[in-house]
C-alpha cells in the first residue's frame, strides 16, 4: 500500500488523464479516477482547486475519496497547470470563461458517471463552483466549499477600498503587473497555506521542480479586479438565496488569503448551508496537519452521507 508521501508525489494507478475541450475549444487537462470494475462506486465526486493549483497538488485527498469508493474527477483550470495556453501567470481578465468551463465540464461529467454526484471547491475553485451553482444550477446532490475565495483578503489594503484600488491600477496601465512579489518558499508562506504540515507544503515545491510551468506566481492587478467584480456580480443575496442544494462551508478564522466575514455572510444567505470555522488553520485545509485535515475529511464524509444516501 502506498504511503501518504508516495501518494502525494506519484500519479495513482488507475487514474486516466485526458484533454477535455471547453465550449470555445480551450484544452483542459482532466483526471478521472474510477473505481475498479470489481468494486461498486459510492457515487461520483468532482473537485475544483484554487488559483495556482494543479491536479497533483491534491492527489492525497483524491486518494482518500477514492478509497471511500467515490469515482474522482478533477482538472486544471485554464491558465494554470497543464491547461495554461497563452494566459500569462494564470491571470484571467474575467472569471466568466472559468464559470462557463466549469458548468460545461460538470454537465459532461455528470452525464458520463453514476450518481449521486457531489462537488468540492477549494479557494478560487469554491468561488467558481458557487457562481456555477447560483447561475447555472448544475444537477448536483450536494456541494462543499473549502476556504472559498468569496472575498480576497487584500491586506494591508482596506477591505472596502481594495476593489477600487485594483480597478484604478488597471486604469493606470498596471493590469498585468503583479499585486505583490512572490514570497520566498519558506516558513511564512508555509504557515499561511498549510499551517501544521511543512511536509505537505514541500510537495508543491517538489512538483514545481519537475513542472516549472506549474508555478504561475502571484496574481496581477487585472486578476484581482476580476475577482472582486465576479464576487460583486455573482454573489448577490438574490442569487445566493436561489441555491437550494445542501452546501457545507469549511473556513479558518486565521486565513490570510480569503475573508472570513464574506464566508459567514454567504452561509447566512444560502438556504441549506452548514458552516464550520476552524479557530486556527492555514488556507489549504486539505493540506493541513493531520488533526485539522482528518477532521475536515470526516465532516465532508458525514455531510455527503446525510444528503446522498
**Looking at residue 128, what is its pLDDT?**
98
**Looking at residue 52, what is its pLDDT?**
95
**224 and 154 Cβ atoms separated by less than 8 Å:** yes
**Which of 5-19, 75-89, 93-107 ranks highest by mean pLDDT?**
93-107
Q: What is the mean pLDDT of residues 8-24?
A: 96
pLDDT digits (tens, 9 = 90+) for 97-125: 999 999 999 999 999 999 999 999 999 99
* Structure-block grid coordinates of residue 290: 493531520
Residue 78 φ/ψ region, left for φ over 0, alpha for ψ in the -120 to 50 degree band, beta for the rest? beta
Which SS3 state, helix, strand or coil, does residue 98 take?
helix
Q: Is the pLDDT of residue 6 over 90?
A: no
pLDDT digits (tens, 9 = 90+) for 197-231: 999 999 999 999 999 999 999 999 999 999 999 99
Question: Between β-strands 70-75 and 117-122, what pairing exists: parallel, antiparallel or unpaired?
Answer: unpaired
Number of neighbouring beta carbons within 10 Å of residue 7: 19
- Looking at the chain, the whole-number percentage of residues with pLDDT higher than 90 is 87
Q: Write down the H helix ranges in 211-289.
A: 221-234, 237-241, 260-269
**Looking at residue 89, what is its pLDDT?**
78
Q: d(Cα 55, Cα 75) in Å, to the nearest integer?
A: 6
Looking at every residue in the chain, the average pLDDT score rounds to 94
HSE value, Cβ hemisphere, 13 Å, CA-based, for 36: 6
**Looking at residue 5, what is its pLDDT?**
58
Q: What is the pLDDT confidence band of residue 3, given thresholds at 50, 70 and 90?
A: low
> What sign does the dihedral 30-66-55-257 (CA atoms) show?
positive
Residue with grid cell 460538470, as numbered in its chain: 106
Q: What is the mean pLDDT of residues 246-275?
A: 97
Q: What is the mean pLDDT of residues 294-307?
A: 97
Question: Between β-strands 70-75 and 27-33, what pairing exists: parallel, antiparallel or unpaired?
Answer: antiparallel
Q: What is the pLDDT confidence band of residue 10, given thresholds at 50, 70 and 90?
A: very high
Q: What is the pLDDT confidence band of residue 19, given thresholds at 50, 70 and 90?
A: very high
Q: What is the pLDDT confidence band of residue 2, given thresholds at 50, 70 and 90?
A: low
* Least confident piece of the model among 87-91, 128-132, 175-179, 286-290: 87-91
If you ran DSSP here, which 8-state letter would residue 270 be given?
S
Amino acid at each position: 500500500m502506498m504511503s501518504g508521501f508516495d501518494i502525494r508525489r506519484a500519479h495513482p494507478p488507475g487514474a486516466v488523464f485526458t484533454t477535455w475541450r471547453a465550449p470555445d475549444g480551450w484544452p483542459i487537462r482532466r483526471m478521472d479516477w474510477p473505481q475498479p470494475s470489481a468494486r461498486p462506486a459510492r457515487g461520483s465526486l468532482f473537485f475544483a482547486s484554487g488559483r495556482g493549483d494543479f491536479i497533483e497538488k491534491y492527489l492525497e485527498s483524491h486518494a482518500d475519496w477514492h478509497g471511500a469508493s467515490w469515482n474522482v474527477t478533477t482538472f486544471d483550470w485554464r491558465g494554470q497547470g497543464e491547461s495554461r495556453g497563452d494566459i500569462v501567470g494564470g491571470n484571467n481578465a474575467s472569471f466568466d470563461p472559468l464559470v462557463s468551463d466549469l458548468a460545461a465540464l460538470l454537465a459532461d461529467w455528470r452525464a458520463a458517471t453514476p450518481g449521486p454526484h457531489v462537488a468540492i471547491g477549494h479557494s478560487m475553485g469554491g468561488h467558481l463552483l458557487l457562481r456555477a451553482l447560483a447561475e447555472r444550477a448544475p444537477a448536483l446532490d450536494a456541494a462543499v466549499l473549502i476556504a472559498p475565495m468569496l472575498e480576497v483578503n487584500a491586506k494591508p489594503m482596506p477591505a472596502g477600498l481594495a476593489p477600487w484600488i485594483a480597478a484604478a491600477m488597471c486604469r493606470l496601465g498596471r493590469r498585468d503587473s503583479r499585486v505583490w512579489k512572490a514570497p520566498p518558499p519558506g516558513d511564512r508562506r508555509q504557515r499561511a497555506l498549510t499551517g501544521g504540515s511543512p511536509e505537505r507544503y514541500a510537495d508543491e515545491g517538489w512538483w514545481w521542480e519537475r513542472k516549472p510551468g506549474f508555478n504561475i506566481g502571484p496574481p496581477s492587478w487585472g486578476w484581482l479586479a476580476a475577482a472582486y467584480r465576479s464576487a460583486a456580480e455573482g454573489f448577490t443575496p438574490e442569487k445566493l438565496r436561489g441555491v437550494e442544494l445542501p452546501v457545507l462551508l469549511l473556513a479558518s478564522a486565521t486565513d490570510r488569503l480569503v475573508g472570513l466575514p464574506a464566508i459567514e455572510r454567504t452561509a447566512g444567505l444560502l438556504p441549506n448551508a452548514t458552516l464550520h470555522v476552524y479557530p486556527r488553520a492555514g488556507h489549504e485545509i486539505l493540506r493541513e496537519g493531520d488533526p485539522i485535515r482528518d477532521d475536515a475529511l470526516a465532516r465532508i464524509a458525514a455531510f455527503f452521507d446525510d444528503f446522498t444516501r
